[in-house]
Structure 1
């Protein structure tokens, strides 16, 4: 009778997957619980919607600001250490909401949360790219965990608020983060198992190479093209996720239904949006597993081309009826998340290992920082123009990313 054990390579992948999935799921779990709590804060504190919204927005700002230094810290101290610190800090910051004496205290607690949340992505991406042998598959699991957190955050927050006061809810919401940190301390992994040079050599190269030289090395690689792709994805993603619930509510094909008398005003469109996020889990999985089997440039080209196509088709197809609306929403959700593991792998493919944390820091500065302009632009398009104009413009972002993906493939083959 023989027994089989997993190879060290596979065990290392599993350990990295476990830690990064926890971190990514928690990031979006906390992030998407905040809008639910915002409704309560507006009622609880003597302030208007404008002031409360501005303070919460300021609390979110450190997410983008911290991405670049987070990548630098990851290169200096190792992504595993930074990732664990991010999980601990996110939990601490969110738990501090329970003690906030005013809306300004809420803003301060959110700023602490945002600083630690901002360093997560460069650390998590760096760890997967340098430590996981099957990085495309691990990126897919990582993305799926983020989608799960996106769905669980608002659901858990809203459910707890039915029973508890919001301060208690904030404290309870922080507990999974504490548990994840304690579990993360027990996980053992090699953060450089997937790079050619030994771990010690990689660490020495990170320590001894000046930042300006690492930055110059990135500029002379194909990374600037990858970064441009990520920026256009950020503009598309932020615009769609910010306004699609509103657009779905207002479509003529949407049945004017509410779920129960207790949920007056909850439109079917809200649930279609949640369903779109769930379909995105499948998109993450397919995109990640395909990136281990095909050139990422090919996957990015096809993914963004289809994303642009379904964006252009969204309004005309939605006007046909409810069933076509469901179909085009599902396809949009699938490809919205399909491209994410693809560009995450592209960063790993087209950057040196010693600059990996820095490269992911710049990547998520572009995704969360510049990408946030998609929200402002979307508001102008929907307020002053039309829903059709909105989708035409964001489709343009997808098609520009398609062109850049083709260019990336051509230059990659030449080099």
Structure 2
């Protein structure tokens, strides 16, 4: 069935927003490589600075949801797009690490409101939610891959400050598009007597629902997602810098005319592109494999992959194994995401679903950003081996919690009646 006009308008608006959130997000590690060379600052301190930017991305999810209820979802998405664009313009003017910190924090605060506002808009305004959620996810994956690809390509020809300004342009265009877009943000719930602007949770309701959530299996899922976020953020933030330092890549002889290309950046982009296939495969498997079982298996794989980076990135390692390992990592790193998203749906009641996803983004993007500071310390003060052992440890922690869900099948009954017989 074709989407109606209102669904198409909301789809276009939210797809642009979702793509741009990740467009900006995944370009930052590419800039980190340049900043480390540009400014006389160690990787440990720069790790703290980047963590300060990524942390609000998750920490602001709950406040973002409350603001969306109060001021409207379209308005919040527009503020998000404008704020992210402004933050990259601030970065383009940076002459010190302090200005970079301001720009990154501004980006994190602005980006944090997108997911609760954008997903709420789809859930209340779209009739064919399944189709629009699918396209919304595809747009996000496109932004994940295109952000670092465009940044890395432009850095061949332009100064990093100008590249940061150029990356802000699509955000400005999206704001102008959004201002002209017309749609009914409550079309899908227009006949619901309980829907309306006065339905936002009071503080006492929020605290009460939170206590109920964390007295259930969701408490285990929340910590599990935090470990996944620590793995995801730490690995993706520092992998470009690690790849740049490998002799097999930095010493690669390029044909005449291509000397300015950084192969490490394109290997990283390739990892993200493969991740799109992993996310699709993971999404299809969630209908066949129960969430706890799938999460346990995928965390084992991710722990093994992190440890494999130790011998593969050792001095004298070949280019082929590095490329293959990055591709495999990209597939499984994104394949796990549909499983934890499905776990939230299975282990929480429908009337607490919005709140539970708000806490999920807090765990993934907020608490998960702590690994940027920890990873920077490991790389700056200890060694690359220590960094990968730390990352593997996050996967082990997540796997143990998935095992708790598996072992506690009697206590942790699915909240939505989903099949969980052998969990």
Alignment of 1:92-241 (within 5 A): 92-95=86-89, 107-127=101-121, 141-157=135-151, 170-185=164-179, 186=181, 188=183, 193=188, 198=192, 200-201=194-195, 205-207=199-201, 210-241=205-236
Question: In structure 2, what is the Cα distance between the partners aligned to 1:134 and 1:298?
Answer: 30
**Displacement, 1:79?**
4.4
- 1:70 counterpart = 2:67: no
2:330 is matched with which residue: 329, 333, 343?
333
Aligned to 1:372, the other structure's residue is in SS state helix
In structure 1, the partner of 2:413 is 412
Q: How much is the aligned-residue C-alpha RMSD, in angstroms?
A: 4.3
Aligned residues: 406
Change (3 A) 1:238 1:100: closer
Q: 2:383 and 2:49 mapped to 1: Cα distance?
A: 29
Counterpart for residue 403 of structure 1: 400
Structure 2: gaps of 5 or more residues: 418-423
CA shift, 1:191, in A, is: 6.0
Match of 2:271 in 1: 276
- Rounded to whole Å, the distance in 2 between the matches of 1:182 and 1:361 is 28
Partner residue of 1:87 out of 81, 90, 93:
81
Give, in angstroms, the shift of residue 115 of structure 1.
1.7
Select between 252-261 and 283-292 the one with higher mean Cα deviation. 252-261
Matched, 1:256 2:257: no
1:20 matched to 2:14? The reply is: yes
| Gaps in structure 1 of 5+ consecutive residues | none
Superposition deviation, residue 322 in structure 1: 4.2
Whether 1:242 aligns to 2:227 is no
Label 1:181 to 1:408 Cα distance change in 2 as closer, same or farther (>3 A).
farther
Q: Match of 1:367?
A: 364
TM-score (norm 2): 0.75
Secondary structure of 2:413's aligned partner: helix
Structure 1 position 36, deviation (Å): 5.8
Cα pair 2:77 2:114 within 8 Å, conserved: yes
Match of 1:347 in 2: 344
Preserved contact between residue 51 and residue 370 of structure 2 (Cα < 8 Å): no
Q: What CA deviation, in whole Å up to 9, does each residue of 1:211-249 have, x standing for no partner?
A: 222322322343222211111011111221123234434
Deviations 1:295-314 (A, max 9, x none): 43343333323222333344
Q: 1:55 to 1:380 in 2, by over 3 A?
A: closer
Give the TM-score normalised by the residue count of structure 1: 0.76
Do the aligned partners of residues 357 and 80 (structure 1) sit closer, same or farther apart at CA in structure 2, a change above 3 Å counting?
Answer: farther
CA distance in 2, matches of 1:19, 1:37: 28
Call closer, same or farther: CA 1:314–1:15 in 2, change over 3 Å: farther
